[in-house]
Each structure stands twice: as structure tokens, then as C-alpha cells.
Structure 1
Amino acid sequence: MVAGSAIYAVNVNAFTAPNNIAAGGVTGVATMLNYVFGTPIGLAAFLINVPLVLWAVMEIGYKLVAKTMGAIVISSLLIDLFSRFIPAYRGDSILVALFAGVCEGVGLSLIFIRGATTGGTDLVARLLGRRLPHLSMGKLMLAIDGLVVAASAFVYGSVENAMYACIVIFVSTKLIDAILYGMDAGTGKLFFVMSPCVRKMGDRIIEELDRTVTYLDSHGGYTKEPGETMLCAVRRFEVYQLQNIIREEDKNAFVIVGEAGQITGEGFRPMHSDDKPVKELLRELRSKAGGSGQ
């Protein structure tokens, strides 16, 4: 979390703020406030995040927002601390936008992997993601950040700066999706967990990860005793959190983790009605091959 916050703070002080680029989110709003009123960016971001955190506490509970509160404090402090010695880069604007997008994407991904956000757009995207599971976090952030970028065009009086901000957001959101979800949002990991504590694990997974689980009746070949096996599919960035839950509930749990090449359904890639069966696709390929040989 600290490493992600540090990379994010470097991005703000080296690339976005010095070049009047408000790349969405609370930090983008704070950057505009710094431009207009001279308010420290970290302090402004912290104050704006306070009501958002309160909303999140009421929506999903204090326990699940605790890490986000820590990330907000750390990132806000580092942004203002780094402003004293991080040199600003005011070179080629395209390079600024590209490097800013990479730094922001990597920094936020490291924070997301730890189960936290930096507040603002990230927090709102996570809250909306609970109600719109078919949309990835990157896409939700892209939509919310667009409003901030539009406002920045008026504050800075420059459409070009807003366009560079769009590049930053595009690069960062694509990178976030690639790091968190892999190249395919429909892939992930499949967990088989055998333990007398699977019910407790399942309750925590549903509450903390907003994922569902399936309980299967099983029978131990060695112990000759009946039991339950929990089946759960998660995205790659959720593996760390799931492993922590399993470890905290039962250190001796027997766990099998496998690759899930394709996961369709709520929370993953939707099952499209126009997806064709494999046999039909093979039939089409054969007919095309036959047609080309005539």
C-alpha cells in the first residue's frame, strides 16, 4: 500500500500537477483547487475524501473501509511531502501524459491489490461496482473521471490539457484492468477448500469480497469422515484477500487452486446469447476451408 501511494504521489508532483493536468478523481479536483487557491494538493484531497469515506462506512461498514482510510492518509501525506523535493517534468506533453498514466495505473493497482483505494473515484467505483458487477473498475473510473476532466478544461482554460488528461486516464485504466483482471476479465482462479470452517470462510467471502461460494458434500478418503468442500471463483487480484481469509479461519485447511480459463456470469464476463458452440464454429471453419479450395 505504501509503495503504491508513493508511486501515485510521485506522479502527481512530477507529471500531472506541474503540467496543469487534472486526471480525474479527487486528486484531480485537488489539483485544480491548488491551481486556483494554492491549497496543498494532499490536504485538499484528504478533506474532500472525508465525506466520501463516511458514505462508504454507511454503505459497506467500517471494517471494509479501514484500509482505504489508511491509504487516503498515506497518499495525502506523501503527495504534500514529495512536493518539497520531487522535481517537476515539463517536457514533451505526450511523454508527460504517457508516463503519468503508467505511474497512476501501477500505483493504484498496488493499492487495489491490498484491498484498499485512495478514495474519490476509486472509492466511488468500488461502491458502484457492488451494484454494477458487470462493469470493471477501470470502466467505472473512466466514466467518473470524465466529469472532472470536463471541469478542468474550464478551470485551466485549455482544451489541450483536458485532452492530455484523457490520455492519462485511458492509459491508467487500461493498465489497471490488465494488472488486476489479466488480459481477459473473464479469467481468474478457482479455489477448492476442504475444512470444517468453510461456512465461516464463505460468510466472510460474501461480505468482504462480494463473491459467492458453493458448498459441496464430500467424504474423506483417508479419514472416512463426511465433510464439506467450498468452491469459489475469484479474479486474480482477489486471490491475496481470499487466501488471507482462509488462513485466518483455518491454517490447516486443504486448498487446491487452479486456473479458470473462462468465467461467465454475474461479477465476471457476461454470457452473451450470440456466443456460438464450438461444434458450430468448427463447422463454419470447415465450410470456409472447403469454399476456398474450390
Structure 2
Amino acid sequence: MKQFMIKNALVLTGGAMQGLGMGLFLFPNSIPSGGAGGIAILLNYWFGISDGLALWIVNFSMLLLGVNYFGKRFVLWTIVGITMTSVSIEFFEQSVSVPDRNLMVDLILGSVFLGTGIGMLMRQEVSNGGVGVVALIIASGREILPGKPLFYINCLVFLITAMIIDWKIILLAFASQWISTKLVDYVCNLTFHQAYTLGWRKKP
């Protein structure tokens, strides 16, 4: 029970920090946080769906693809994480305002919170959802690391988002990805509680 409570607290905290970075800093500037974030921005742009709900829809849809590969426990914990992220995005977008926004400050702060949140989730073997699940499926099937397919999928989404909304988005998205992935590596190397090992494994 203690292990469960600690894992639950870390997953919720990681999801909240990810939502803080996206909802308060990145999404108000239409900066995609990744492939799922880019699709969420497009859904908001086309249909007026709120960013938090759009991200949850994208994440949940992608996650359904992963249940046969990684098992129900992986999916349940990831649902907890992505739901917390979406709730946090809704809260920060609707309840917190940032006066005199600065694009570069928002980019850096948003990417730092995003990377820290994702790192906390990954230390608990919980996906941050979205196209990361697709990348893990591809990596599992081809027995490669997930970084390369994730990079290519994100790049494709960034390109489409930039073509539809604004070309400067792709530069901001790449900068955000660089900062946030550095933070993911840093958090994953810290010494603090993790309930399971870091190795992604296909379910038996």
C-alpha cells in the first residue's frame, strides 16, 4: 500500500507539472509540447475544443493502441497521468493569468516544467501519453529505442501544425523539445524513489 501511495503521488505530481508547463506557458503561445500537444492545438484551432480536453482525447485514443502491447497496468497508470495533466491544463488556462507575457520566458519555463513532469512519469514507468505510446509500439516491434520514431512522429506533427497555423511554431517546438528532453534525462538520473525499473517492456 505504501508503494502504491508513493507511486500515485509521484504520477499525479508529474502529470500536474506537465500540465503547468503546457497550460500556463506553452499552449497560450501555440507552442506544441510534442506530437499530442500539436494535434491538440490543431483540434483547438479547427473545432474550438479546449486544450485540456483535446489533449486528453488525443492521449486516450493513442493509449488504446498500447493496451495490447504493454498491459493493463501500464495503461491504467498512464490514464491517471494524462488525466491529471489535462485537468491541470484546464485549471491553469482558466484560473491563472500571466501579465506582460514574454515568449522566450514562457518557452523556457514551459519546457522546464514539461520536461520535469515527463521525467517524473517515466521514472515510474508511466508514459506521458500521446504519440509516445505509438513510438514505444514501433520500438517494441522493431527492437529499437523509442527516441528515433518519437522524433520523426513529432517532427511530422510540428510541420503540419506550422503549415496550418504559423511557421515560427516549428522553431519554437524544436527549442522546447530540446530543453524538455534535457530535463527528462536529468530527472531520470536523479536519485529519488521509483516504484519500478526504467526499462520499457512488452507485456508477457
Out of 131, 144, 149, the position equivalent to 2:153 is 144
Out of 150, 170, 187, the position equivalent to 1:179 is 187
Distance 1:117 1:32 in 2: 22
Which TM-score applies when normalising by structure 2?
Answer: 0.79
2:174 alignment partner AA: C
Residue 32 (structure 1) aligned with residue 24 (structure 2): no
Of the two structures, which has the highest relative contact order with CA contacts closer than 8 Å and spacing of 6 or more?
A: 2
**How many residue pairs end up in the alignment?**
189
Quickly say closer, same or farther: Cα 1:119–1:41, change in 2 above 3 A: same
Q: 1:89: Cα distance to partner? A: 6.3
Distance 1:239 1:78 in 2: 23
Deviations 1:72-123 (A, max 9, x none): 2222222212222122466333332222221111011111112212210232
8 Å CA contact 1:18–1:88 kept in 2: the answer is no
Residue 166 (structure 1) aligned with residue 168 (structure 2): no
8 Å CA contact 2:63–2:75 kept in 1: the answer is yes
Q: Please give the secondary structure, in 1, of the residue aligned with 2:91.
A: helix
Q: Structure 1 regions of 5+ residues with no counterpart?
A: 184-235, 243-266, 268-294
Distance 2:158 2:51 in 1: 17
8 Å CA contact 1:149–1:162 kept in 2: the answer is yes
1:46-195 equivalences under 5 Å are 46-88=56-98, 91-131=101-141, 134-135=144-145, 137-156=146-165, 158-180=166-188, 182=189
8 Å CA contact 2:120–2:187 kept in 1: the answer is no
Distance 2:99 2:105 in 1: 10
Larger Rg: 1
8 Å CA contact 1:89–1:96 kept in 2: the answer is no
8 Å CA contact 1:15–1:90 kept in 2: the answer is no
Distance 2:19 2:77 in 1: 18
Percent of aligned pairs with the same amino acid: 26
1:77 alignment partner AA: V
Match for residue 12 of structure 1? 22
Quickly say closer, same or farther: Cα 1:142–1:4, change in 2 above 3 A: same
Q: 1:163: Cα distance to partner? A: 0.5
Q: Please give the secondary structure, in 2, of the residue aligned with 1:108.
A: helix
8 Å CA contact 2:17–2:85 kept in 1: the answer is no
1:33 alignment partner AA: L
Distance 1:171 1:104 in 2: 9
8 Å CA contact 1:5–1:75 kept in 2: the answer is yes
Deviations 1:24-57 (A, max 9, x none): 2212211222133220112112222333222111
8 Å CA contact 2:12–2:80 kept in 1: the answer is no
Quickly say closer, same or farther: Cα 1:20–1:131, change in 2 above 3 A: same
8 Å CA contact 2:22–2:33 kept in 1: the answer is no
Distance 2:25 2:89 in 1: 12
8 Å CA contact 2:125–2:196 kept in 1: the answer is yes
Which TM-score applies when normalising by structure 1?
Answer: 0.57
Match for residue 248 of structure 1? none
Quickly say closer, same or farther: Cα 1:81–1:93, change in 2 above 3 A: closer
2:159 alignment partner AA: A
Quickly say closer, same or farther: Cα 1:150–1:238, change in 2 above 3 A: farther
2:184 alignment partner AA: I
Greater helix content:
2
